[in-house]
Amino acid sequence: MAKQPPTPIRSSAHSALSDLVCGIDAAWGKGWAPDELVRAADKLFDSTNAAVMATAIILHRRSHPAPAGEDWLERLDHVGRVAPTEHPERLCDALGVDDRTLTQVAGNLASWLKVLPRMAFVCAPPGTIAAGAARRPKAIDKAKLLERVRALLAKAEATQFPHEAQAFTAKAQQIMTSHSIELAMLDDPAGEAPAALRIWHDPPYASAKGDLLASIAAANGCRTVSHGGLDVSTVFGFRHDLDSVELLHTSLLVQATAEMTQLETQWQHDRRRIRSFRHSFLIGFASRIGQRLEQARRLATEQAGVSSDALHPVLVSRSLAVDRAVDEVYPKLSSKRRSLSNSAGYVAGTIAADRASIGPSTRVGRGRAG
């Protein structure tokens, strides 16, 4: 049977799609990356909007083939796997929508791009690097170190014994802190500037997961900015510290979720309040984990063999550099305090953090800061 040719889209849909493609340059200038536009469109609207956004990004890249870095191209590859088609005339058929719907979706997305908030750059947009330039490869010793840390955290996630998880996670934090201190003492102060990392929080309890990220970041010399309504945080810090934050956040979120699920079967709380229990659990976990990681960091600093007179000015200088990086992008920030609606969940979270994060050699008694 002969295959039906794609239904051509009308001029109104073509026009709306063209307007959307033209608006993408402005998004790049505001710090958004390709995959982030697709993810935000899916979160704020729906999967159809995300698919149209992905197609528009691919069409934009085809008509604007400026040199791009490896990070950017990897993100673009991800978008290419999400886009239902690279051919605008086939978009309606690929999405199963009519011209009117496509016109409306593309028009709404084009309007949305005009009011996008500014974000910190997490990778260089096209046209801002020289042709043929590539991301600087990781040093072999750093790659080995990160692999060692990943292995420790994988063991912490896999074990059924809390004391083993404590030891593995604490050791990972100490290794990363020691390496961070070595880099801080060896690096030319003018040779590296703070960078940014974006972490998107999957629902549910996205705000509490953001608190966990903020606690981990603070313990590793970084700062976080939460973007309301998008369930995303931007972390500012030096590159090695950002690597540490990303690894620890992924692992500790796995550990927290596993512990929370297990405790739910043991605590005799009202099943109707399960959401408040989980939310408060994660807030308690984040609060305690920050104290524990800070203590592991202090221990590693003491064992680094560097005099405080030499180390303190370097750490202060790096901290001020991170503050300046935040202020440059977000000069007017406000803080928000989390409210608790389930004390049992909060207490359970702090206990879980005691079990998950710090080994016996650096254990802190319950009821006081580390």
- SS3 of 225-266: the string is EEECCCCEEEEEECHHHHHHHHHHHHHHHHHHHHHHHHHHCC
In this prediction, residue 340 carries a pLDDT of: 56
For the segment 40-58, what is each residue's pLDDT rounded down to a tens digit?
999 999 999 999 999 999 9
Q: Are 310 and 211 within one domain? A: yes
Give the mean model confidence (pLDDT) for residues 215-225: 94
Question: Is 177 found in the same domain as 83?
Answer: no
Residues 275 and 209 in one domain: yes
Q: What is the pLDDT of residue 191?
A: 62
Lowest mean pLDDT among 80-84, 128-132, 180-184, 306-310: 128-132
Pair 226, 353: CB distance under 8 Å:
no
Confidence of residue 367 (pLDDT cuts 50, 70, 90): very low
Q: Which one, of 212, 206, 259, lies nearest residue 228 by Cα?
A: 206
| 3-class DSSP state of 198 | strand
When divided into structural domains, the chain yields a total of: 2
Residues 172 and 104 grouped into a single domain: no
Q: Is residue 5 part of a domain?
A: no
CA distances from 46 to 50, 168, 220, 261, 322 (A): 6, 40, 36, 29, 35
Q: Specify if 120 maps to a domain.
A: no
For residues 283 and 168, state if they share a domain: yes
Look at residue 138 in the predicted model and tell me its pLDDT: 45
Residue labelled with tokens 């935040």: 326
Closest residue by Cα to residue 75 from 200, 203, 194, 193: 200
* Nearest one of 42, 199, 21 to 120, comparing CA atoms: 199
Same domain, 149 and 79: no
pLDDT confidence of residue 362:
34
Whether the predicted pLDDT of 364 surpasses 60: no
Asked whether residue 155 falls in the same domain as residue 233, the answer is yes
Range with the poorest average pLDDT among 209-223, 231-245, 266-280: 266-280
Can you name the residues that pair with 235 across neighbouring β-strands?
Answer: 197, 224
Tell me, what's the pLDDT at 172? 81
- Domain membership of residue 263 (yes or no) is yes
Between the alpha carbon of residue 236 and those of residues 25, 152, 240, 275, the distances in Å are 24, 25, 11, 31
The answer on 64 and 28 residing in a single domain is yes
Q: Quote the pLDDT of residue 369.
A: 29
Q: Are 151 and 172 in contact (CB under 8 A)?
A: no
- Domain membership of residue 349 (yes or no) is yes
Is it the case that residue 108 has pLDDT exceeding 80?
A: yes
**Alpha-helix residue ranges (DSSP H) falling in the chain:** 11-22, 24-29, 34-44, 47-63, 70-82, 91-95, 99-114, 140-158, 162-186, 206-219, 239-264, 274-302, 308-329, 343-357
Which helix (H) or strand (E) covers residue 200, if one does? Answer: strand 195-200
- Inter-CA distances, 237 with 95, 224, 370, Å: 41, 9, 23
Helix (H, G, I), strand (E, B) or coil at 366: coil
**pLDDT tens-digit series, residues 117-174:** 999 999 999 988 654 444 444 444 566 776 777 788 788 778 777 777 777 877 888 8
Q: Domain ends where: 114, 149, 174?
A: 114
In a domain, 317, yes or no: yes
d(CA 200, CA 210): 9
User: Are residues 100 and 147 located together in one domain of the fold?
Assistant: no
Do 263 and 162 sit in the same domain of this protein? Answer: yes
Q: Would you say 356 and 289 are in contact if contact means Cβ atoms under 8 Å apart?
A: yes
Q: What mean pLDDT, rounded, does the chain reach?
A: 81
Q: Residue 246: which domain range?
A: 140-362
Q: Is there a domain that residue 121 lies in?
A: no
Mark whether 33 and 155 lie in a shared domain: no
pTM of the predicted model as reported, rounded to 2 decimal places = 0.80
For 133-147, 195-209, 214-228, 331-345, which range has the lowest pLDDT when averaged over its residues? 133-147
For the chain, how far is it from start to end, CA to CA, in angstroms?
A: 72
Q: Has residue 20 been placed in a domain?
A: yes
Q: Are residues 154 and 69 in the same domain?
A: no
For residue 322, give the amino acid letter: V
Q: pLDDT digit string (tens) for 226-257?
A: 997 899 999 999 998 998 898 888 888 888 88
